[in-house]
Every structure is written in structure tokens, then in C-alpha cells.
Chain A
């Protein structure tokens, strides 16, 4: 691998025009109001902390906007690298003592560095928009459960297999209101099975689908969670895998940090695919191909290909908007990204090996 060639690829991935565009777009997005009207109404009612909710929405908005508007440029720049070599640079690159695989790896290293700079920039702008940060909360685990309809007065009871509950941890339940009336009164309770008696409960009246949260007792697990309807007409269902463990983290900025890690992995995978396709196709076709594959992964979401980092990015952004830091990328996401990168680099190296230069 050659660091000089990696630096050249980095420079080509982030040309001055793209950097200027990024700065202008960031300024535009920073000047945009991200606080929606319903949020202001809820803040007036005192049901949410307006500062932290506004921060969360600004953080989510800036991340989504910058990824949507700038990442395609980065992918397009990656798709340009190998066609550029093919147009004539092979003459000095291929005559060098470096192997073609080494050349492809060096170029990719530069692209991965460009992706890192890009996500650090996104995170900085998002945090600038989010403003002052207080202690944050993160999604720590999700417990498997099927979709269950809460019929009649019979509560839904679920065992939560957890060791000692972390300090300040809570269980969050995602609830769907599926018609039959305007609202439902609900009681969510959790108790430590072993401690026998320490029950934490919360009550709420829901008029739309949403979340209910209850603080976990400081105790050894396992725990038992029960959800019951205490009034109202609406039919209620517990969403599939809708029981989540939420734990405190040092800062709300942890959300951006974890989004940056996910975005970097997703970008690295897309850039490798764009680089690889560029060895076989024209630059525009390679760029469109890589972006189409990325879009397919994003639309498929975490249900179809949960391991792909891009597939879970949509959900991570959604959690960020709810004021929760998404989990760190899982080892499956790391493996899936590494596999995609290897695939892209294999395509690139194979393409370079078979190039013939027309006179």
C-alpha cells in the first residue's frame, strides 16, 4: 500500500468544489428551523423537555440532510477514480513497482479517509445545530416479542431476561393504537421477579401510537413487564420487538458519535462498491449502480438485511430524533461491511488485472 496514492485518492474524493458545496449546504441547513410545530405545542403542555427534544430533532435533521445531499457526491467521486486511471494514468501507475491490488487498496484507503472526514464534518455540524448538550440516553437492548393485541382487560405479561439493572435504566414499550376508539388508558409496570414486590409503574392516556416508559427497579433480574388497558375504547397492540432497554449515557452527543460510526461503515461499503464498479463500467454508470444498491439497502430497512449498516441507518436516525443514541454498530454490521468492502475491492482488483490499453 502507498500512502501517497491514498492521499491523492483522498484529494480526488474531496475536491475544493465539493468542500465548498458542503460548507454552503451546512450553513443553509444550520439556518433552517428543525423544530416542528407539534413539538412546540407539546413543550407548552409540559409533556416533554423542549430543549432536549429540539436538540434531538435538529441532530436528526442535520444528519439526514447532510447524508442525503452530500454522500451521493462522495460516491460519484469514488466511481470516477478507476475510469480516470483507465483514461491514461495507467501509463505511470501500472508501470510502477506496485501491484494492481496494492494500487486499488491504496486508492480505497484514501476514499475511506475521505468518508471519515465527511462523517466528522456531519457530526460537527449536527452538534452545532443541536446546541448545548446535557446527559443523554441510549438504546441498549431490544427484547424479541411478537406483535400482541391487548384484548379486553387481560394484561400482556412478558419476562425480561436481564442481569442487574443499570442505574437509571428504563424499559420503553412501543405501542400501536389500531382503532376502535379515540384513545386508550394504559398502565405499564415492571417488577423484579426475585425481589418479589418492588414494582415500578407508569400510567398514560394515549391518543396516537407511541411509546410508554417505566423506570427499572435497581435490582437483580430477571424482570417481569406487564401492560394493561385501564380505560378508553381504542384497541391496543404491542409492536413486534417493541420492548427496549434504555440506559443513560454521559452526553446527548453520544448519539452523533454512534451515528458517525454507522454512517462511516455504510459509506465505506458504498465507496468500495463504487470503486469496484468503476473498474468495469463508465464513471456515471458505476456511480448510479452504487447509489442504487445503497438505496435498495436503505429502503429494505433492517427487516430484510439487518446486518447491512445502511439498512439500519434509517432506524438509527429515527432513534436520534427521539432523543436516544442508537447502539454501536453490531459485530454483524462490521462483518457485513467488511464483506462488502472485500467484494468491492475484489471487483476493482479483478478489473485492473484485465485492463488492456487501446493504442
Chain B
């Protein structure tokens, strides 16, 4: 009698030769926006999709989220296709815009999205209440989303993305419109999601947005995957004269920073300046009375 051993779990994400195009004009011609993208992300991994505006990041995320179908190529998510309900129930997605039901209050909208994702009614209600509080929208729980500011909508978007405790979290430009406390919230939610063993894909045109949570970066240029690797590997491929690094440093006063700058210069580097990090702004806000 032979026991069958379960094979290795399929990756969180596997794209092969993905091409996407859209009709233009009268629909007689098509404009190709993704040209044969191959990409893979292991379970629990973090991938940053970076590239300039219009490079195809959002289109790629839409394909992974199952909103759209590729023209050709295959998209495999958590061992299935993105359109399978059992797969979609395990994927969380924050779209680039915030096209949520404008007439609903935040809590009602969150419960609706939970229900559509297969959560039982009481489960959707409990998680929604907890998340509304978590993202700092308790006071606006019943306010229609159309009255939300961009930052508040982004917080709501983050809450709906993690509502179903996804195994794959897709975030499209997650920092757009967020304030310093919002950045901290994003860091916490993504950190907790990854701590649960979920994979995360963050798309941004700002590389700084993705560094914290993504050990690998993929660079999309004009719909082509131009490069991928760790941030330092990509840095090594860049023109050294143009390459810059950012660092977040805690515990140094102005004099300490001056000494650090001197050491950088002594090693042949260019010290281009220092500015307060988001965390410093957050500390300032709290000192000035902000509760979020």
C-alpha cells in the first residue's frame, strides 16, 4: 500500500505569457498594454510592482484579481484561476480608485462586500465593526462613502481588502491620499497579513511605497517586465552615478546626523539631505492631539 504525499503547495501567483489589449477607436484595432508577462510569487512572499504611470501595473493587478481576463496567457492564483469563487474568496484587493458603493455607510458597505466574499452574515458584521474601528472610521461608520475624503476612502479600501483575511493581498497604489497615521495603518495591516502567512503584491509608481513589505521588486516598463529581483539587486543594475538610497534612522540628533553625513562623504558618497520620516510626522500629530 502506498501513501500519496501531497505535492508542494502551488505558488500564490503564477503568470505565463500574459498579454492584455483593449479595443481602440471603433473597436477595429486593439492596443496592447501587457506584452507577455511572466511572473511568480511564492506563498507568503512580498512582491512590489513598480514602474512609471501607464506601465500596466493596474491592468496586471486586475487580471490577478479576476476582474478582467487576459487576451492570451495564463494567470494562476492560489492554485486556481482568478475567476473561481473559491479563489476569489481568498484574495483581497484594494483597487487604485475607490469605486465603492457611494450611497452606503462605511459599515454597511463593508458588510455587503463581506457577504459577497462568502462571509456569513454575523461574521461579516463582526469583522466589519472591528475593522471600521481599526482603520479609524468609527465616527463615520454610518456616513455615506460619497462624503468621505480621499484618505478616508483609502482607509475604507484597506479595511475591505483585508476583511476576508486573504491569502493573497493585492494593493494598487495603497498610499495615494493617505496621511502619516494612514501610512502607519497600512504598515500594520500589511505586516499582520504577512505574519499570517499571506502573500502580498503592492503596485506603486513610488518605489519607497513597496520597500517596507516586499523583498522582491518587479519593474514594469511599457507593459513589459523589464527587471525583477531584490531591491539591492535592482540597485546594482542601475546606473551607479544616478542610483540613490533612502534610509530611515532613529535615535540620532542633528549633530549625530552631521557626523553620519561626514562619513558618507568620506567614503565617496553624496549626502543629499535628511528629512523627517512619516513616523516623525505621526509622532508630531499625536503630540498635537490627534487620536488616529
B-contacting residues of A (Cβ < 8 Å)?
Answer: 2-5, 8, 11-12, 87-99, 103, 355-359
Pair B118/A97 contact, Cβ less than 8 Å: yes
Q: Do A2 and B22 contact each other (CB < 8 Å), given the known contacts A88-B99, A91-B99, A92-B160?
A: no
Nearest chain B residue, comparing its CB with the CB of A359: B59
For A359, give its contact among B22, B91, B160 (CB under 8 Å).
B22
B141 CB to closest chain A CB (Å) equals 16
Pair B65/A95 contact, Cβ less than 8 Å: yes
Pair A97/B89 contact, Cβ less than 8 Å: yes
Pair A8/B97 contact, Cβ less than 8 Å: no
Q: Do A4 and B99 contact each other (CB < 8 Å), given the known contacts A91-B67, A358-B22, A359-B33?
A: no
Pair A94/B33 contact, Cβ less than 8 Å: no
Pair A96/B88 contact, Cβ less than 8 Å: yes
What chain B residues lie within 8 Å of A91 (beta carbons)?
A: 62, 65, 67, 93, 95, 97, 99
What chain B residues lie within 8 Å of A357 (beta carbons)?
A: 62, 67-68
Pair A88/B117 contact, Cβ less than 8 Å: no
Pair A4/B58 contact, Cβ less than 8 Å: no
**What is the 8 Å Cβ interface bit string for chain B, positions 82-122, against chain A (1 contact, 0 not)?**
00011011010101010111011000100111011110000
What chain B residues lie within 8 Å of A3 (beta carbons)?
A: 115
A3 to B111, CA, bound (A): 11
Q: Does B181 lie at the interface of the complex (its beta carbon under 8 Å from any beta carbon of A)?
A: no
Pair A92/B69 contact, Cβ less than 8 Å: no
Q: Does B56 lie at the interface of the complex (its beta carbon under 8 Å from any beta carbon of A)?
A: yes
What chain B residues lie within 8 Å of A93 (beta carbons)?
A: 116
Most buried by A among B65, B103, B116: B116
B225 CB to closest chain A CB (Å) equals 17
Nearest chain A residue, comparing its CB with the CB of B119: A97
A165 to B111, CA, bound (A): 58
A340 CB to closest chain B CB (Å) equals 27
What chain B residues lie within 8 Å of A99 (beta carbons)?
A: 85
Q: Does B66 lie at the interface of the complex (its beta carbon under 8 Å from any beta carbon of A)?
A: yes
Other 8 A-B pairs with CB < 8 A, given A92-B100, A98-B85: A3-B115, A8-B104, A91-B97, A94-B67, A103-B116, A356-B22, A359-B22, A359-B58
Q: Do A92 and B22 contact each other (CB < 8 Å), given the known contacts A4-B115, A12-B103, A99-B85?
A: no
What chain A residues lie within 8 Å of B56 (beta carbons)?
A: 359
A11 to B105, CA, bound (A): 13
What chain B residues lie within 8 Å of A11 (beta carbons)?
A: 103
A11 to B160, CA, bound (A): 21
What chain B residues lie within 8 Å of A89 (beta carbons)?
A: 99-101
Q: Do A97 and B86 contact each other (CB < 8 Å), given the known contacts A2-B116, A4-B112, A11-B103?
A: yes
A89 to B112, CA, bound (A): 13
What chain A residues lie within 8 Å of B65 (beta carbons)?
A: 91, 94-95
A98 to B118, CA, bound (A): 8
A357 to B113, CA, bound (A): 20
Pair B88/A97 contact, Cβ less than 8 Å: yes
Nearest chain B residue, comparing its CB with the CB of A85: B99
What chain A residues lie within 8 Å of B99 (beta carbons)?
A: 87-92
A89 to B109, CA, bound (A): 12
A103 to B97, CA, bound (A): 21
Nearest chain A residue, comparing its CB with the CB of B112: A4
Pair B116/A98 contact, Cβ less than 8 Å: yes
B111 CB to closest chain A CB (Å) equals 7
Q: Which 8 A-B pairs have the closest CB atoms?
A: A88-B99, A96-B116, A97-B89, A91-B95, A4-B112, A94-B67, A97-B85, A95-B65
Pair B95/A92 contact, Cβ less than 8 Å: yes
What chain B residues lie within 8 Å of A97 (beta carbons)?
A: 85-86, 88-89, 116-118
What chain A residues lie within 8 Å of B91 (beta carbons)?
A: 95
Pair B88/A95 contact, Cβ less than 8 Å: yes
B214 CB to closest chain A CB (Å) equals 21
Using a CB-CB cutoff of 8 Å, which residues 130-151 of chain B contact chain A? Answer: none
Pair A8/B88 contact, Cβ less than 8 Å: no
Nearest chain B residue, comparing its CB with the CB of A354: B69
A8 to B97, CA, bound (A): 20
Q: Do A96 and B113 contact each other (CB < 8 Å), given the known contacts A11-B103, A356-B68, A359-B59?
A: yes
What chain A residues lie within 8 Å of B115 (beta carbons)?
A: 2-5
B201 CB to closest chain A CB (Å) equals 13
A14 CB to closest chain B CB (Å) equals 12
Pair A4/B111 contact, Cβ less than 8 Å: yes
What chain A residues lie within 8 Å of B111 (beta carbons)?
A: 4
Nearest chain B residue, comparing its CB with the CB of A7: B112
A282 to B224, CA, bound (A): 33
What chain A residues lie within 8 Å of B108 (beta carbons)?
A: 4
For B67, give its contact among A2, A5, A95, A103 (CB under 8 Å).
A95
B194 CB to closest chain A CB (Å) equals 20
**What is the 8 Å Cβ interface bit string for chain B, positions 160-172, against chain A (1 contact, 0 not)?**
1000000000000
11 A–B contacts, CB within 8 A, in A order? A8-B104, A89-B99, A91-B62, A93-B116, A96-B88, A97-B89, A97-B116, A98-B117, A358-B22, A359-B22, A359-B54
Nearest chain A residue, comparing its CB with the CB of B84: A97
What chain A residues lie within 8 Å of B54 (beta carbons)?
A: 359
A290 to B234, CA, bound (A): 57
Q: Do A92 and B113 contact each other (CB < 8 Å), given the known contacts A356-B22, A357-B68?
A: yes
Nearest chain A residue, comparing its CB with the CB of B114: A4
What chain A residues lie within 8 Å of B59 (beta carbons)?
A: 359
B121 CB to closest chain A CB (Å) equals 9
A101 CB to closest chain B CB (Å) equals 11
